[in-house]
Structure 1
């Protein structure tokens, strides 16, 4: 099984990234990235999965079974929080973009059918996690406890250049009630460039003794994907001079939709040093817009 999918290798049809449970070799998590030209439109059926349409760049209108949600979107993932639209399973969805753009479709197989909804950018909690060169920003747009989904958990992480995120290494590959969730995870990456030089970073996944024994050290670039069925994942390393963005998509078989992790026992002590140290002063790179009155 290939766990690092370099840009273009997961392309299918209209999607520049198309990861299904079948292609990943697991049961729940899915991701599509849909590029649209100005005036472009795409229609799909949600099937047995729920989906969130999240603008990565540009704006669009998402119509779910006849109900339209207009998404303001953003210039790119490094410029601001985005609004989004939720589509339930067994629905028909159309994405229209007068100006064109790129749109992430984060998905998860599920049994429950929830109503279609709009998620405003102003309602996205922006969290600063870690301290010093372990600092990162988390946009918790579809985190458990933030936005209701049947099974899907999805967040965005921004790591300033030179910093390490997804650290200490952690895992969520076994069901331990109240302690750890069993979740499949997809990482999708983008980077800032400099003078025409594209950015890059590195992703580590090491075996936890569970599942497949995933073992990976990958150089990741714009549009790359890493699949994490199991294992200690982290760090995610942003090289100097290039900010790193990754979109995390998670889902699993548990009855409770929860993100419960276990830190690597050899590195868990790092988290204990955070309370007395400040976050990287470059963060947040941006905040959510104010709620309208």
Structure 2
């Protein structure tokens, strides 16, 4: 897989019913997956979970998820920039149908796993919202499937919202080699959306991944809504939001070790954390508070 393959502009990794279809085979790794599904009003899609666990996460719109005679009604949201959303967890070796009366777009975050856990529904009110960093490093993290928040076998997934002009995924950090108590080994997918400026003007952002090893991942990508970046290794960050455009990204992670998110900061940039206690959080955050839900 070349550096060009690691930046997937919108539409270039579509497959079948999906606007974006990143399977482990496509990414050249073993665990992490992401699909983005668009359904028209009244539309329906059936899937087999296979050897992976999945979370159905509304990006915009709501849906009904039926799996093994269990039905979950997801209220969803107007957009990723408007509210936290509820979601549904699907176990491996199951079948599910997603139907949307009003239409919408839905992320399916997945990870190959061994355990069969029960299907579950989580309301938006149960999703913790964290403000991370301060000043121009301020961002909002919706920890819907963080390792210490929601029980999965291998899957870790969160949403990050960065106000225009700020940097997130900063300082650059990595999690590409196992080091007990210090660093996890996790494959990661970033999926981006960029808020329009007034008048519907489309925006952009930038994503940097720099090598942490010889011939490692080296990407500097201009990203727009619907793009994805694959990160098998390397220092990732910053994720840069252009002034006037809030940047959203969905992080999907999984790996071979214990399910935990342990990162190592880049030694040249870790010092920035020492400035955070003396700097206020960006007053534009939170974009929406914990527990705010719906459309």
TM-score normalised by structure 2 residue count: 0.96
CA distance in 1 between partners of 2:132 and 2:43 (Å): 37
**What is the CA–CA distance in structure 2 between the aligned matches of 1:105 and 1:188, rounded to whole Å?**
11
Structure 2 matches for 1:141-290, cutoff 5 A?
141-194=144-197, 195-209=199-213, 213-254=216-257, 256-289=258-291
Change (3 A) 1:13 1:290: closer
* Superposed displacement of residue 289, structure 1: 2.2
State the match for 1:140 in structure 2.
Answer: 143
Q: Secondary structure at the match of 2:272?
A: helix
Question: Counterparts of 2:28 and 2:73 in 1: how far apart (Å)?
Answer: 34
Aligned to 1:127: 130
1:272 deviates by 1.6
Q: Distance in 1 between matches of 2:168 and 2:291?
A: 25
Structure 2: state its 5+ residue gaps.
none
Is 1:38–2:35 an aligned residue pair? no
Give SS of 2:291's match.
coil
Give the Cα–Cα distance (whole angstroms) in 1 for the partners of residues 212 and 123 of structure 2: 38
SS of the residue aligned with 1:147? coil
Measure the CA separation in 2 of the matches of 1:196 and 1:97: 26
Please give the alpha-carbon distance, in whole angstroms, between the structure 1 residues aligned to 2:274 and 2:156.
26
**Whole-angstrom distance in 1 between the partners of 2:100 and 2:144:** 21
Q: Deviations over 1:59-116 (max 9, x none)?
A: 0011111100000000000000000000000000110100000000000000001000
Aligned residue among 91, 101, 106 for 1:103: 106
State the 1:290 CA deviation: 6.6
2:88 maps to what in 1? 85
TM-score by length of 1: 0.97
**Which runs of 5 or more residues in structure 1 are unaligned?**
none
Q: Deviations over 1:15-58 (max 9, x none)?
A: 00000000000000000000000000000000000000000000
Offset, 1:273? 1.4
State the 1:278 CA deviation: 1.2
Partners of 1:174 and 1:191 in 2: CA distance: 31
Aligned residues: 289
